Chains A and B, each alone.
Chain A
Amino acid sequence: MVADRDRASRRALLTGAGTALAGGALALAGCGSVATGKKAVKQTSMPVRQTDVKILSQALALERRTVSAYIATIPLLSRPRRKAFRQFLNEELEHTGELASLINAAGGKAGPRADSYPIGHPTDAASAIAGLHSLEALQISRYLELIPRLSPGPVRAAVASILTVDAQHLSMVRVLQGQDPVPGPFVTGSA
């Protein structure tokens, strides 16, 4: 199962601290959102589920590309930044797992990971972080297109709980780049 592969990768990549943090998050964060979304999507008609599978698969491909970019970026960073970005990688991996889980609940099957993703060839921290900036922004703009097409509501909300974290990642990346971390009142992913 792809979801299992994603989780195995997460175990391989992450430190114990990151895993503990993710576990600790469950009480307050979105652990219930995907469960509710999965339950809701199972109760919808086949055409709706098929549409959801297509949309969620697009989102999963984007998240996997971003995971690849984080993996390529982390070795280029200074130690303090590495720690933060390792956690962000953990969170992106969590997104892939949750999306795969929603796809499965909708009766689909998450496709295999690509052998490689177009993430450019960053050679230093600045260019790598700029690449992550672009990918996080791209994810946000794509989620804003995709979420209104999902149904039912709990599935939209579950995916929005991923969008919110990508928006937070983008803010943190902007901080590191010396940019305004929250440049406007509406998150659009345009920059």
Chain B
Amino acid sequence: MPEESRDSAGVRVRLDRMVEEFADLDAREKLELLVDFANGLPALPAEYEARKAVEDRRVHECQTPVFLWPETIPAGGARLVADVAPEAPTVKGFVAVLAEAVAGRPVGEAATLPDDILERMGLVEVLGMMRTGGLRSIVARVRRGFAELARSQV
């Protein structure tokens, strides 16, 4: 996963690159790639564990327990901190894709995550409509979170 300081490409370009990684893979290979992304998602920092219980960070529309903290790093760029149950590698992998897409980018740009990531990665056929519904709510939640941050930065 490219470090924030080294990857100057924008959200859209990063997503294009990741979509490319999924192209030409069969269903099983796409799932394997998602697992690779999942393994790359940083562990939840200890201080966030306690926050899970008190803050409203859970994506309720998703059946899997997913907790999201869209935030800004000291330098001002976006960071998505997330906690996803380990028994849901698909969800965790998808969250890792989003985290990589937004890392270090301006929060206003992070708020422009598009709606068609799953389609472009060919994941809708692999996962089915019901599972992708939950993943879409995650995208919406992340977008909303960064949009709020962008508004408060003004």
Asked if A pairs with B, the answer is: no
